[in-house]
Structure 1
Amino acid sequence: MKFRIDKYLLSKTEELAFITVKEDAEFKLEGYTLPKDGLNVPIKNEVLVKGIKENTAQEGLNSMSIADAMIYIIGIDPQFRYNDEYKKFLKALEKNVKFDAKSYMGYMSRKYFEIGEVTDALIYVKALITLYPDDIQGLYNYAIVCQELATQYQKDYDAKAMNDMLLEAGEKLEQVTNLDPNFALAYYHLGYHYYNQNQYIKAKVIWEEALKLGLDEEFTAEVQDNLGKMYSKVEYEEGYTLVFQGKFEEGLEKLLPLEEKYGDWWNLLFMIGLAYKNMGEMDKAKEYYEKILRMKPQQVDTLVELALCEASSLNMNRAIELLEAAAKLKEDPEILCNLGMAYLNVGNFDDANYYIERAYELNPEDEVTVACKRELAKYI
């Protein structure tokens, strides 16, 4: 099983010490044989220190303290070089002393979670799903702990770590729903992941499934409230998806009714303008792009789209003016090529050459830029 959050746990290896146990050492466990060259066995520093203080360091190296540390390192780093050997040891220990490794890892994770030691809680439950990758409850608990850690990283203003934890949680919740399509709480939490990623259609489908499967009264009211509040966002997502699919009229049927209530939502106006532009209704498209620029004069995509509308209406000077404004805000090869071709259309070969060459410098492998260079070569 792969994890994207390993790097946030690796520092916890500092809480472990490693002791080399030789083949002839007194380390006997029925069903387990030490490797020929011995084995580096982990032990938690706190156990070692306690043993030294109490002058019982050697006694501290019992099978359970070693097993606990092995589980800990497996949870920290699933790729640790001795993990396969540690797994053999744990399996033998289960048979010898009726040690239930899965229950132990679940217990330790809950224990640390309850006292607020969330990273340790994550390590133990991560070890659990490493050793038992199809354990549904383990996967669910792992996702919940990741969500809790994401909250802590948010408070620390660490957006990258927060995002990684949320993505990890979302992936594992999806895995839970695949393994158990009737796990209502997994759908409940997964809906929030889709919602926070602005995937409103997915969030709607997932939350509706959670309601169908049955939630506690409190969760049911919460989900119903969310579904009501996100109706317009779902309509918007459905609308722009239709526009991107080339179904412009169907897209407008979804988008236009939203304009009255959300007339200051520039994304909505942009998609309406894009639909009209692709339908060849340039005047209507320009009307929407102009509205956006009155609200956001430096919205680059809108400047470019309006310029293309002006160019298609043969208003080349206005198109050049808009593209120059866009190029000053964002030196992008596509914008520069459009600007170069606009200059070419009005016979200004020097400026056309300048902008197309600059686009080529930025991305010499871009097919559009290469085509523009080829077109320019016909004139200079």
Structure 2
Amino acid sequence: MKFKIDKYLLRKTEELAFITVKKDGDFHLDGYEIPKEGLNVPIKNEVLVKGIKEKTAQEGLNSMSIADAMIYIIGIDAEFKYNPEYKKFLSALEKKVNFNVRSYAGYMSRKYFELGEYTDALIYIKGLITLYPDDIEGLYNYSIVCQEVATTYQKDGDANAMNAFLLEAGEKLEEIINMDENFALAYYHLGYHYYNQSQYIKAKAIWEEAMKLGLDEDTIAEIQENLGKMDYKVQYEEGYSLVFQGKFEEGLEKLLPLEEEYNDWWNLLFIIGIAYKNMGEIDKAMLYFEKILMIRPRQVDTLVELALCEASSFNMDRAVELLEQAAKIKEDPEILCNLGMAYLNTGDIDDAIYYIERAYELNPEDEITISCMRELDNYRVN
């Protein structure tokens, strides 16, 4: 099983020490053969310190404390080089004594979760599903703990870590559904992941499926409330998708009814403008782009699209003006190329050279920029 969040857990290895157990040493476990080169076994620092203080070296080095630390390190790093040996050790221990690895890892995860120690809770449950990847309940609990850890990173202002744990949780919820299509709570939580990623069509579909699978009345009421609140977002996404599939008229049928209530929603106005632009209705497209600039005068994409509309209507001076505004806000190769080509069409070769060469400096691999450079070379030759 693959995980995306190992790098955020590696610091927890600082809480472990490693002791080399020799093949011919005093430590033995029936059913497990120590490799001839010995085995580096983990033990938690707190356990080791306790043993030293009590002057009982073996207190820190016993099968149960080793097993606990092995599960812990497996949970921290699923690819740790000694994991295959640790799995053999744990298997032998289960056979020798009344010790259930799966139950123990689950218990420790719940214990730390109840204490609010979410990272430790995550490590134990991650150890469990690494050892038992077919454990659907464990996988579900892992996704829930990932969400809690994401919340802690959100409070700390670490957006990258927060997003990594949310993505991990979402992917594991999808795995659960693939393993068990009737796991209602996985659908319920996955709906929120899609919603928070602005994938409203998917959120609607997954929540509707969740309600068919026997959730309690309060949860169903919560889902129904969410569906009602996001209905317009679903309609927007449907229209947006149709426009970018080239189905402009169908897209507008979805989008235009939203305009009356959401006339200051610039994203909506932008997609409507794009649809009209691609249908060749330039005047209507320009009207929508101008509406956006009244709300957001520095919206770069809108400035560029309006400039392209002006250029297609042969209003090159206005196109240059708009593209200059966009370039001041965002020095982007595509914007600079458009500005350079606009200057080229007005006969201002020097400014055309400046902006296109600047675009090339920023991204010499960009195909549009390379094409503009070739066009520029034709003017230089002439």
Which residue in 1 is equivalent to 2:197?
197
Q: Cα distance, 1:163 vs. partner?
A: 1.0
Query: In structure 2, do the counterparts of structure 1 residues 304 and 33 end up closer, same or farther at CA, with 3 Å as the change threshold?
Result: same
Check the 8 A contact 1:304/1:323 in 2, yes or no: yes
Which residue in 2 is equivalent to 1:327?
327
Which residue in 2 is equivalent to 1:206?
206
Please give the secondary structure, in 2, of the residue aligned with 1:55.
coil
Distance 1:274 1:307 in 2: 13
Which residue in 1 is equivalent to 2:232?
232
After superposition, the C-alpha distances for 1:90-109 in whole angstroms (9 at most, x for unaligned) are 11111111421111111111
Aligned pairs for 1:67-146 (under 5 A) are 67-146=67-146
Check the 8 A contact 1:112/1:118 in 2, yes or no: yes
After superposition, the C-alpha distances for 1:347-378 in whole angstroms (9 at most, x for unaligned) are 11111111111111212222222222222222
TM-score normalised by the chain length of structure 1 = 0.98
Which residue in 1 is equivalent to 2:175?
175
Distance 2:150 2:340 in 1: 46
Check the 8 A contact 1:122/1:142 in 2, yes or no: yes
Query: What letter matches 2:135 in structure 1?
Result: D
Which residue in 2 is equivalent to 1:310?
310
Please give the secondary structure, in 2, of the residue aligned with 1:335.
helix
Distance 2:45 2:361 in 1: 57
Distance 2:345 2:208 in 1: 54
Q: Cα distance, 1:284 vs. partner?
A: 0.4
Distance 2:154 2:302 in 1: 33
Segments ≥4 residues shifted beyond 6 Å? none
Please give the secondary structure, in 1, of the residue aligned with 2:42.
strand
Query: What letter matches 2:56 in structure 1?
Result: T
Distance 1:19 1:347 in 2: 77
Distance 1:306 1:253 in 2: 23
Please give the secondary structure, in 1, of the residue aligned with 2:19.
strand
After superposition, the C-alpha distances for 1:90-131 in whole angstroms (9 at most, x for unaligned) are 111111114211111111111111121111111100001111
Q: Cα distance, 1:344 vs. partner?
A: 1.3
Please give the secondary structure, in 1, of the residue aligned with 2:35.
coil
Distance 2:329 2:307 in 1: 15
Distance 1:134 1:359 in 2: 52
RMSD: 1.1
Aligned pairs for 1:1-380 (under 5 A) are 1-380=1-380
After superposition, the C-alpha distances for 1:76-103 in whole angstroms (9 at most, x for unaligned) are 1112221111111011111111421111
Distance 1:368 1:154 in 2: 39
Query: What letter matches 1:146 in structure 2?
Result: C
Q: Which moved more, 1:180-189 or 1:337-346?
A: 337-346
Q: Cα distance, 1:55 vs. partner?
A: 2.6
After superposition, the C-alpha distances for 1:123-155 in whole angstroms (9 at most, x for unaligned) are 100001111112100110000001111111111
Identity percentage of aligned residues: 79
Check the 8 A contact 1:50/1:57 in 2, yes or no: no
Distance 1:215 1:298 in 2: 46
Check the 8 A contact 1:125/1:141 in 2, yes or no: yes
Please give the secondary structure, in 1, of the residue aligned with 2:378.
coil
TM-score normalised by the chain length of structure 2 = 0.97
Distance 1:354 1:156 in 2: 44
